A and B are shown apart, each in its own frame.
Chain A
Amino acid sequence: MKQHLLKLSAAVILASTCFIGTPTATAGLFGSWSKSEWLSPTALAVTADGKTMFIAYATANQVAVFDIAAGKVATTIEMPASPLGLALSTDGKQLFVTCAAPSSSVCIVDIGANKIAATIPAGHTTMAPVPSPDGKTLFVCNRFDNNVAVMDLAQRKTVNCIPVPREPVAAAVTPDGKYLLVANHLHTGRSDVDVVAATVSIIDVAAGKVAKEIALPNGSGLLRDIRVSPDGKFACVTHVLARFHLPTTQLERGWMNTNALSLIDLAKLELFNTVLLDNVDSGAANPWAVVWTADGKQICVTHAGTHEVSVIDAPALLDKLAKIPATLDPNSKIDYNAASRVAADVPNDLSFLVGVRNRIKLPDNGPRALAIVGSKIYTANYFSDSLDVIDLAAPAPTAVSIALGPKRAMSVTRKGEMLWNDGTMCFQGWQSCSSCHSSDARTDALNWDLLNDGIGNPKNSKSMLLAHKTPPAMSMGERDTAETAVRAGIKNILFAVRPEEDAVAIDEYLKSLKPIPSPSLVNGKPSAAAQRGKKLFFDNTIGCAKCHPSGLFTTLKSYDVGTRGQFDKPQDIFDTPTLVECWRTAPYLHDGSAATLREVVTTRNSQDKHGKTQQLSPQEIDDLVAYLLSL
């Protein structure tokens, strides 16, 4: 109940941001999206005539206009902030560009003139523009506002904000315009429970609200993209499928993170099934973009971690899935070798796509977007500043690279970001650092039972922000510094031996991370509630600042604050984490047992060991939490 109220109040605050915020140039403010010499192509959109492809350059704040026949960039259009999403209008005359910032904007570009014709203010880190089939509405995801904005294109403003569980990063509309499917990047709630999974929100467009949450299989998270089949019958969503309940002893045979494509039956609005993109000895780290061919015959998925594209025979896959029974027929002959005998086996089957899928290696790095033009697939390669093109009609389809800019030597920081996201460093390509900490080095919000502090005592994944400034690392302080933790991660989580310079590059990347301004800020400043809460936070009788002083918000020491969890060994002392950016690192405490900050300072602090908060009034609790959420 409290959580709901909190969400409501947050929603009110955020909704106002949604309506009012003004677009601002945010170069330099914005963490890894600060403008740089790198292009970082991150989204693609193709005109209906197949002649022009728009490419969003996430770190150059530009959209390139690519002449497909000529095979090169014709011109670029400046954007006010990092363009993360592109979509053509229904009538094909305009291009919608979501430019991400704490106060984002949606730029409407006149195709042909290649100029921004209009701008609609949007929310925090706006992504994934999706026009309605009737051309009247534009849906966008305000990622850190946790809502989907419904924009009336005639009025050129947001007319409704629909709350969704957490970090909407992709959306797709059904051909009849009835439903908008939204991919939530992360799960909500505690992570120390048996079932932890992100959901796909189904928004009833006419009703203007979420009609249903479709839970993906246990362990699903880091959703990236969602697309509806041309015939409107199925939707596909890419995500990681984490086997988080097992100790991280090995990678083989999908022991830790597997990489998945879930299929949603749109007639029933149910999860149809989930297939693994990995093979038994070859992971498909970080599945990202997914696109159906126009004839619905193929589904193409990029593996951003292993730099490949999977081309799946869609009818064959759907047929294979349809034929698997829900339960075992006791009279039928059991195939003892089949990994999948019933539908529930499929998400654990590393051979399911054999025979219906072709994995094609790309020469470039970090394919995060995919577009199909005729028989050709184009991938946008984030770290190579290039496109790769594959002609599926060729007898042996292979990828050819098209540079989008001059070849530049990578800075150490950029190299570190690339390695962070690179699954080819990992034994058999199962995962990259981003598989548990996402592509921007925060968290998957799951608990993992790493071996460094014993076994059987899982810990919630920690954000890397400020990790190098707040030693020791790990919630039990197992690693004396973040540098040590990076090297331990390469060895014990990626099971790789890498040159020291790779670890140094990753250190530099992580050190370069900047906090993203909280979505709860009002015009860039803490709300009134947050300001009241700040006084409480720094009140000595309550004592928060004793261990969380301003600046890094941690004394770097370990304390017993009464947070020993159900799976912990006899152990009461835990390292003090930073509170910066804690608005986005739910769930809380070392074992993710507190779904909200409110719980941390109320139900989880009955002994007043974690600050004297028991005596605070509900309003004071609200204010204190508002302050924390503003950091």
Chain B
Amino acid sequence: MTGQTNFDRQRLRLPAPLVACAFALAVVAGQSFAAAAIAPDLKQEQEIQFADLNRQLKERAPIQSRAAQTLRRDALILDSDRDPVDIVIRRTGALLADLKVNVPGRRIGDFESRLAKLKERAEQTDTADTAARHCLYEDVCVLRRQIAFTNPLLNFDKIVFIKRHPSRFDHMCDQYYGFNAVPGGGLFVIEKPFSNKPALRDLLARAVCERGRLQGRQLAPGAFLAPDLSSDGKTVVFAYTEAEQDPNPKAKTHEWNERSTFHIFKINTDGTGLTQLTDGKVNDFDPCWLPDGRIAFISERRGGYIRCSGDRPVTTYTLHRMDADGRNIACLSYHETNEWQPSVNNDGMIVYTRWDYVDRDSDIAHHAWLTTPDGRDARAFHGNYPVDRTLRPWMEMNIRAIPGSRKYVATAAPHHGQAYGSLVLLDPAVEDDNAMSQLKRLTPEVAFPESEKGRWIFATAWPLNEDYYLCAYDPAAKTHGLYLADSFGNRELIYRDPEIGCLNPIPLRPRSALPVVPAPTATAGTDAEGIVTVVNVYDSQKSWPKDAKIAALRVVQLLPKTTWKANVPRVGVASETNARAVLGTVPVESDGSARFYAPTRKPIYFQALDERGMAVQSMRSITYLQPGESLTCRGCHEARHRTPPPDGSAPLAVRREPSRIQPDTDGSNPFNYPRLVQPVLDRHCVACHSQNRKTPKLAGTPSGSSGWSQSYASLAAKYGFYFNVGNGVIKDPIHGGATSTPGRFGARASKLFQVLDQGHHDVKLSAEDMHRITLWLDCNSDFFGAYENIEAQGRGEIVKASLE
């Protein structure tokens, strides 16, 4: 599970020169703490970028191959680019042309003539004269910086950000465990960042915690994450950990305790009021101010582990919410694997990254999702799964809505790595083609990480508009600085600390409040039931088989994994599969509509059943309802950009009371193969099969090291229907793939059902017995129904899941 280590490990060192400077200034100025003067080393920066421009020229062909997917042509390397001078002149010209349009008449005239002169010089200077060309290059850089900093979007004079060493562990999940954090860094403000006298202020320099376990103490040493600024510009929430590590330096993990986990803190931007908001033996991080004044954040509190870690526990963390004072912590997302980095979009909705790999490839679907601020109606912007893993980035992180726009900026990031990569623009208005149709590359000189083996160059973009953003950037992918970047390919250094990376730049200023999305009346926080309504099951992106008649929906509860080791227990023949429980069925009306009471606060999914009770199609994802939520879908995986057709009358299901889920047979909830399937085999199969040595063994006797039975070992792999979970399974056309096709799922598509349906010797199964078999086949041919007490389960005892 470990990825490439793309970071140079920095030895832990306090930024001594900085501290000394600040202290000296403080003494001199007689103030309690003061901003230390910082001046970027522009000469050094020019060299760094010069080297990278030469690299881009060498990688001309792959960069140009991305042209169709790139937002602005200027960010590419063009045929006319011979050396870095050509590139910076061209890109500076693009910047100037854009600013001219946005700011007519403002100081542009001077810049135009100066750039024109430089262009003239460039035309007269031979590319072979490298010294003169380099001189030119430096002059263009100086002009470009002046131009860039006149951008009217830079209407702020402070930036708040954190300094942070990369995590010790290169994995999208582990990177945010406190014990993997490298102590160092802090919470800082740059004042006058675009002037030639910027200054750095350490917000935590004198701050002591006002309450709680760390009362009276400063937040040092330790590590920091993910600041967010309130809309009035007065308060910053952030995550901090004491970063206690396991004494064994080779350990990949550590016990979860208060000192080895991240917690959320709050501080005023004047440095007062440092308060700890959360504590415990769990990681809480990625805090995000909500329009109603509460705070969304990511937390492990709900419990569970991912399903694909073989060598160390990897806990799941999902979206939660609390009041501004840390009280009333509530889980918003009952998803079964990890989520990251909530932010609020221009409609007041929460945008975040969600990893979704139910019955599918584990490494390629961590994309943008959307939910209400109270956790209702979680939906994906675009499909999770491309047909081909190389067709688009595997992960979209740090997703942020662009002010005054309907688009988003995000970091294309790696699964086996940390949240750095290449920046993309996401446009939900465009129909998704399961590839790049909604995405445009903002930084085409950096390939997507992992899917294109790109490096960890960019992170945490804060958009000013669709073309300009603050971000973290380092062409060497080692020690990221804060930059003003644009989609034309210009990168202007704001600040860099040679000792430690910078991240999460946020303009420190009030901004207009975002809309508050109202919560439905009365039921939040209660145990009120939810209601699911489907307008027309047949409204689907993929066609249903001819004559398909959907008679019912099956509701299946997916169980989050409660043991950390992959395939321990081996729940079924499918690798890394979830345990699940069949809650039952609800009827579908003749017009395809359904309406039923559904359980809340649990991950559930639905299958569309034919008249024989077999699944024609199944979700390979989950949804969940909040108490009292009414969740309404148009159809079963309807096309995302379609409205409900204005056909005819109201759905039949809406005109009657919601159905109640009818529980299914014994052995379906909790799910248990020995209880569900074995009795059928005992009744109809064992007699013949035990006599005939050439036939598969179908007895219920335990067999093998997984705790399965003989019959399961004989039937599941060869005759069952299942999807494997794992890295790369999308390529397997039978037990993998991207999406399911109606009619080619579950029992209907399994060999076992074929055998029985065609007539197998003189076997006559009752409807109930056949149902037990097909139900098993529709449930990914699992064996166990819970992750604990597998011996008891093997004996056919009822074992309830420990986490729902």
- Residues of chain A touching chain B, judged by Cβ–Cβ distance below 8 Å, are 194-195, 217-219, 241-247, 249-250, 252-255, 258, 276, 279-282, 334-339, 345, 347-351, 354, 361, 394-396, 427-428, 449, 455-458, 491-492, 495-497, 567
From residue A119, how far is it (CB to closest CB) to chain B in Å? 44
Task: Establish whether residues A349 and B654, one from each chain, have CB atoms under 8 Å apart when the complex forms.
Answer: no
Return the CB mask of B652-669 against A: 1 if under 8 Å, else 0: 001110000000000000
The reply to whether A246 and B515 form a contact with Cβ atoms under 8 Å apart is no
Shortest distance between the CB of B692 and any CB in chain A (Å) = 46
Query: Would you call A458 and B650 a contact (CB within 8 A)?
Result: yes
Tell me if B632 counts as interface (CB < 8 A to partner A): yes
B649 touching A255, Cβ below 8 Å: no
Judge if B644 is at the interface, Cβ distance under 8 Å.
yes
B428 in complex: contacting residue of A245, A280, A337, A347, CB < 8 Å: A280
Q: Are A280 and B429 in contact (CB under 8 A)?
A: yes
Range for the number of chain B residues in contact with chain A: 35 or more
Query: With A339-B641, A345-B642, A348-B642 in contact, is A427–B377 under 8 Å at CB?
Result: no
Is A249's CB under 8 angstroms from B429's CB? no
Q: In chain B, what residue has the closest Cβ to A353?
A: B429
Q: Choose among A245, A282, A351, A455 the residue that contacts B406 (Cβ–Cβ < 8 A).
A: A282
Contacts of B379 in A (CB 8 A): 252
Determine, out of B449-457, B535-543, B567-575, the stretch whose residues face the partner at the interface: B535-543
Binds A, one of B148-156, B200-208, B431-439, B547-555: B431-439
- Distance in angstroms from B640 CB to nearest chain A CB is 7
Give the residues in chain A near B430, CB-CB below 8 Å.
351, 354
A252 cross-chain contacts in B, Cβ below 8 A:
377, 379
Chain A hits for B347, CB < 8 A:
281, 427-428
CB of A480, distance to nearest CB on chain B (Å): 16
Say whether, besides A250-B377, A337-B433, A428-B347, A245 and B649 are in contact (CB < 8 Å). Answer: yes
Question: Interface readout for B633-648 with A: 1 if CB under 8 Å, 0 if not?
Answer: 0100001111111111
| Listed A/B pairs (13) with beta-carbon separation below 8 Å | A247-B650, A280-B641, A334-B543, A336-B542, A336-B639, A339-B640, A347-B645, A349-B643, A427-B348, A456-B656, A457-B655, A496-B515, A497-B518
Query: A328: nearest residue on chain B (CB-CB)?
Result: B543
Q: Nearest residue in A to B433 (C-beta to C-beta)?
A: A337
Q: B649 to chain A: which residues have CB within 8 Å?
A: 194, 245
Residues of A within 8 A of B404 (CB): 361
- Please, what's the 1-or-0 string for B411-428, where 1 marks a CB less than 8 Å from any CB in chain A? 000000000000000001
The listed residue (A250, A276, A279, A337) touching B632 by CB distance below 8 A is A250
Residues of B within 8 A of A253 (CB): 634, 640-643
Given contacts A250-B377, A348-B642, A456-B656, 7 further A-B contacts (CB under 8 A): A217-B646, A249-B630, A253-B642, A281-B347, A281-B428, A354-B429, A395-B101
Query: Is there a chain A Cβ closer than 8 Å to B517's Cβ?
Result: yes
Whether A255 and B643, one on each chain, are in contact in the complex, defined by CB atoms closer than 8 angstroms, is yes
Known: A241-B646, A246-B644, A458-B650. A339 touches B431 (CB 8 A): yes
Most buried by A among B377, B379, B434, B655: B655
- In the complex, the chain A residue whose C-beta lies closest to that of B97 is A395
Q: Is the CB of A495 within 8 A of B535?
A: no
How many Å from the CB of A353 to the closest CB on chain B? 9
Interface string of B475-498 (1 = CB under 8 A from A): 000000000000000000000000
Q: Is there an interface contact between B429 and A456, defined as CB atoms closer than 8 Å? A: no
CB contacts (< 8 Å) of B640 on chain A: these are 253, 280, 337, 339
A361–B405 Cα distance when bound, in Å, is 10
Inter-chain contact B648/A194, CB cutoff 8 Å: yes
Report A-chain residues with C-beta under 8 Å of the C-beta of B644.
243, 246, 254-255, 348
The verdict on B651 contacting chain A, using a C-beta distance below 8 Å, is yes
Q: Which one of A195, A247, A395, A491 contacts B654 once the chains associate, using CB atoms below 8 Å? A: A247
Main secondary structure of the interface of A (DSSP, over half): loop
Chain A residues positioned under 8 Å from B650 (CB to CB): 245-247, 449, 456, 458, 567
Minimum CB–CB distance from A285 to chain B (whole Å) comes to 14
B632 touches A245 (CB 8 A): no
Complex Cα distance A495/B372, Å?
Answer: 11
B688 at the A interface (CB under 8 A): no
A449: which B residues are within 8 A, CB to CB?
A: 650, 654
Residues in B with CB closer than 8 Å to A455 are 654
- Among A281, A338, A427, point to the contact of B639 (Cβ < 8 A): A338
From B377, B516, B518, B630, name the one whose CB has the most chain A CB atoms within 10 angstroms.
B518
Q: Given A253-B643, A395-B101, A456-B654, answer yes or no on A427-B406 (Cβ-Cβ < 8 Å).
A: no
Q: Does B70 belong to the interface (CB within 8 Å)? A: no
CA distance A473 to B516 in the complex (A): 26
Expressed in whole angstroms, the Cα–Cα distance for A108 and B101 within the complex equals 43
Docked-complex contact B102 and A396, CB < 8 angstroms: yes
Closest to B428 in A: A281
* Chain B residue, CB-CB nearest to A397: B101
Interface residues of B in 12-64 (CB under 8 A from A): none
Nearest CB of chain A from residue B176's CB, rounded to whole Å: 29
Residues of B within 8 A of A427 (CB): 347-348, 515, 517
| Contact bitstring B201-233, A, C-beta under 8 A = 1, else 0 | 000000000000000000000000000000000
Query: Lowest 6 CB-CB distances: which A-B pairs, in order?
Result: A254-B643, A456-B655, A219-B646, A497-B516, A339-B641, A351-B641
Q: Is B533 an interface position by the 8 A CB rule?
A: yes
* Interface contact A336-B651, CB-CB below 8 Å: no
Most A CB contacts (10 A, CB to CB) among B347, B383, B434 go to B347
How many Å lie between the Cα of A567 and that of B652 in the bound state? 11
Q: Which residues of B contact A457 (CB under 8 A)?
A: 655
Give every chain B residue within 8 A of A217 (Cβ-Cβ).
646
- Once the chains bind, are B431 and A348 in contact (CB under 8 Å)? no
Q: Are A218 and B429 in contact (CB under 8 A)?
A: no
Query: In whole Å, how far is B405's beta carbon from the nearest beta carbon of chain A?
Result: 10
Residue in B516, B634, B640, B643 with the greatest tally of chain A CB atoms within 10 Å: B643
Using Cβ atoms and an 8 Å threshold, which residues of chain A touch B655?
456-457, 567
Judging by beta carbons under 8 Å apart, are A281 and B647 in contact? no
Q: Is the CB of B643 within 8 A of A348?
A: yes
* CB of A280 to closest CB in B, whole Å: 5
Nearest residue in A to B595 (C-beta to C-beta)?
A455
Q: What residues on B are CB-neighbors of A247 within 8 Å?
A: 533, 632, 650, 654
Q: Within 8 Å CB of B429, what residues of A?
A: 279-282, 350-351, 354
B643 contacts which of A276, A394, A492 (Cβ < 8 Å)?
A: A276
Cα A308 to Cα B5 with chains together (Å): 49
Chain A residues lying within 8 Å of B651, measured Cβ to Cβ, are: 245-246
Q: Which residue of B lies closest to A255 (CB)?
A: B644
- Complex CA distance for A361 and B346, rounded to whole angstroms: 15
